[in-house]
Amino acid sequence: MDDGEGMETAAAELERLQIEILHKISILESSFLPQNSSAAPSPSLPVDENETVTRLSTILQSGGVNDFCFKRVATDYYDWPLESRRDVLGASSVDHLCKSIVLVNTQAASNILDCSDPNNSKYYVVVVQYTARFNAEAVKQFLYSLNEGKIPKKRFNLRLAPEETSIKLTGFEHNGVTCIGMKTNIPVILDEAITKLKPDFFWLGGGEIDLKLGVRTSEFLEFVKPFIVPCS
């Protein structure tokens, strides 16, 4: 075999190795993506500085919150298991994935129509973990105690608010609800378990269905000043 043939053989072998390496890299990359979603080509999608991101960022920063970020996710995000959602957001665990739900007190007195009294509001926003089971009875007991027993316990019955009511009060659609920048100043209840997460940085809705907000827990508490209730 002359030198020319030797060089061609070496080049062919090098090309084969390069292709093999690229194939292995591709397999490794795909293993970090949600297994049931071919629509997510990368761990997260670029966040466009749209009106929602700009508005909520301004609200957070004006309230002294600086450690936060927004991430855009794929349209089928809510079809994914929690483990895949964790991975795409870069969350520390599935326990760090939270949601904001609007509750209505169906047994409030007839003169309680709005959120003007946070201790006895018609509506509340509760932030809980996806991995937790919300305990409405715990919130009922908390509100009864908060009002020092002056309001009969039967006057507290928290239920999930109708979707149209939630949209009207918050300005956010289902799966996009966040307790930042709501149309109505609804009192916020945060499950105590979230305050114990390590590291103290959790994720919740970002104002749009495919937009998520990550925020430092300590800064969130200082800004939002929620009622902290063990309700899961």
**What tens digit of pLDDT does each residue of 183-205 get?**
999 999 999 999 999 999 999 99
pTM score of the predicted model: 0.80
Place of tokens 């298991």: 81
pLDDT given at position 50: 87
- For residue 165, give Cα distances in angstroms to 28, 108, 135: 45, 16, 21
Helix (H) or strand (E) holding 229: strand 227-229
- Which of helix, strand or coil describes residue 23? helix
**What tens digit of pLDDT does each residue of 164-176 get?**
999 999 999 999 9
Average pLDDT, the chain: 88
pLDDT given at position 8: 60
**What tens digit of pLDDT does each residue of 67-81 get?**
999 999 999 999 999
Distance of CA 223 to the CA centre of its chain: 17
Count the Cβ atoms, other than its own, within 10 Å of residue 80.
Answer: 19
Whether the CB-CB separation of 198 and 93 falls below 8 Å is answered with no
Maximum pairwise Cα distance, the chain: 100
**What tens digit of pLDDT does each residue of 70-124 get?**
999 999 999 999 999 999 999 999 999 999 999 999 999 999 999 999 999 999 9
pLDDT given at position 187: 98
Amino acid sitting at position 84: S
H helical segments located in 65-130? 82-89
Q: Is the pLDDT of residue 60 over 50?
A: yes
pLDDT above 90 covers a percentage of the chain that reads 78
Whether the CB-CB separation of 232 and 191 falls below 8 Å is answered with yes
